[in-house]
A and B are shown apart, each in its own frame.
Chain A
Amino acid sequence: MERQSPLAKILIHLAALCLAAVIIAPVLWLFVMSISPAAGLSARPLQWWPAEVDWSRYATLLSRVENSAGAAVTTSLANSVMVAGMATLAAIVLAVPAGWAVSRTPSVGWSLNAVIATYMLPPVALAVPLYMALAKLGMLNSVFSLALVYLTILAPFTTWLMKSGFDGIPREIEAAAMIDGANLWQTLRIITLPLALPTIATAVLFAFLLAWDEFFYALLFTSDLRAKTLTVAIADIAGGRVSDYGMIATAGVIAAMPPVLIGLLMQRALISGLTSGGVKG
């Protein structure tokens, strides 16, 4: 690399400082709102940092007292974990064999292209019949139905990731195992799947994040705490007549915590997934 002139050095550091401020300020503000007393948040001029840190909202929202705001958050949090977990598991179970098949037998690749092309479909194009069918079957407002519907988003994406992952594992290794007498199942179990584990892990992360983020289907297909996910619960809190904005912010911090932690800790896996051709929208 070329040597930086002192002026360039200063400019680069200034620009980096601006970028850092742009990235951090909104996130930090969300957190500050969640620990500021309500009076400080409605003061003019605004109190940018609380004189007294107030953690009580976290206790309120994470409590399990029935019919409280806390119950709404903890129950919908559990629903989100269930829906995202089930949908992720199903998406991986479907994607691993299909991704391997397309990777090793390119002649069936057009079917995967057809599956990936469904990415262009706006969810509104599927929502009306899905709603009518679930209503008819009495399956609205259920975490299972929601997880099933989430496969429309998750499965094409995980299959695409798995296919490119298997493409990176040379066929020759599998062929060598076969020559040594292993059958197909043994080859896949002993050779291919262990090598594909990093890709599977990446696919799990992306699938979980996509499901955690989902709002549209959850808004349409759930109506109460038996199935409402956290995204819908937050929209309820934010849309309702809450006098304390700190409460909305606290719910936001709670919902953001899992994906933000995954993002910060698993950065390497996520970025490899982003750049291997898979891009989360």
Chain B
Amino acid sequence: MSRTWLTTRAWLLMLPLLAVMVGVIGWPLAETVRLSFTDAKLIGSGGDYVGFANYAKMLSGAAFQKTLWTTLWFALSSVTIEMVVGVLAALLLNQRFYGRTLLRAMMILPWALPTVVNATLWRLIYNPEYGAANAALMQIGLIDSYRSWLGEPGSAMWAIILADAWKNFPLVTLIALAALQAVPRDTIAASLVDGAGAFQRFRHVTLPHLVGPLMVALVLRTIEAFKVFDIIWIMTRGGPANTTRTLSILVYQEGFSFQRAGSGASLALIVTLIVSVLALTYGMLLRKSAGSTV
């Protein structure tokens, strides 16, 4: 069979996928770019060309900058907690103890819980009048009066970060655990014979096997955290006083709540650009670290 026929056949087999992708991703994205240069409203026709006015307005607004920092804070904190706790839990689950199989199976629970259910559950836990968090902390004696965890600017973001990390750290654990189980036993045995201590063994035998899969998890979790919408929308809708408003929430408010399709689109593209730059930087780091550790 000729090479051209093989290539043609491959394109034919991909055609349905590519056609759908152009329809539901390619075209809307192009349309978002077009809208971002107009003053179009969400409902109603038209919209006039306004050049870069939307971009200028969005980028110079105080809301955007504050929201960008809020998003960075959320992404950095929740991903860091997820990675650290996730790896520690994986190391633990790789030890021998009673009930290990059961606990390993349990790890899938938070991950399987729908994001909306998770957000709703934690909202109930943080409830200022009847929540379990208040009840438990009061009974232990850590607080002396009930607090509104999601209603106070100082604690709302941390409360959300905790809820998000609880749901997502098991994913890191499952990935890290699979990688740990792939570490050849001979290598561990050899390092024991050579007299390596626990830390040395982790650093030189275990860690190199973990780096690759963990980097992938890190990249994906960071992108997800940057795009975050669901958990924050359910728990606080960006409040109190916009302290938990992330970029996706801001775009939603601009484009849908205020129905300003044009400036909403420009803001959406700015967010897309930030996520892309982040992902590309990570991709380059990933390639570099893959080259140096393997």
Contact = CB atoms under 8 A, between A and B. Distances in A.
B221 to A, nearest CB: 7
B7 A108 contact: yes
B192 interface: yes
B170 A123 contact: no
B124 interface: yes
Contact of A30 (B89, B98, B121): B121
Q: What is the interface of chain B mostly: helix, strand, loop, or mixed?
A: helix
Interface bracket on A = 35 or more
A212 B114 contact: yes
Interface string A95-120: 10110111011011001100100111
Nearest to A215: B230
Given A108-B11, A149-B24, A267-B105, A235 B234 contact: yes
Contacts of B213: 275
A118 B25 contact: yes
Nearest to A114: B21
B285 interface: no
B32 A128 contact: yes
B25 to A, nearest CB: 5
Contacts of A122: 226-227, 229, 247-248, 251, 268, 271-272, 275
A123 to B, nearest CB: 7
Interface of B: 6-7, 9-11, 13-14, 16-18, 20-21, 24-25, 27-29, 31-32, 35, 42-43, 89, 92-93, 95-100, 103, 105-117, 120-125, 127, 129-130, 132, 135-136, 138-139, 166, 170-171, 174-175, 178-179, 185, 188, 192, 213, 216-217, 220-221, 223-224, 226-227, 229-230, 233-234, 247-248, 251-252, 255-256, 261, 264-265, 268-269, 271-272, 275-276, 279
Given A30-B117, A98-B18, A121-B272, 5 more contacts: A130-B24, A132-B31, A213-B115, A256-B114, A281-B221
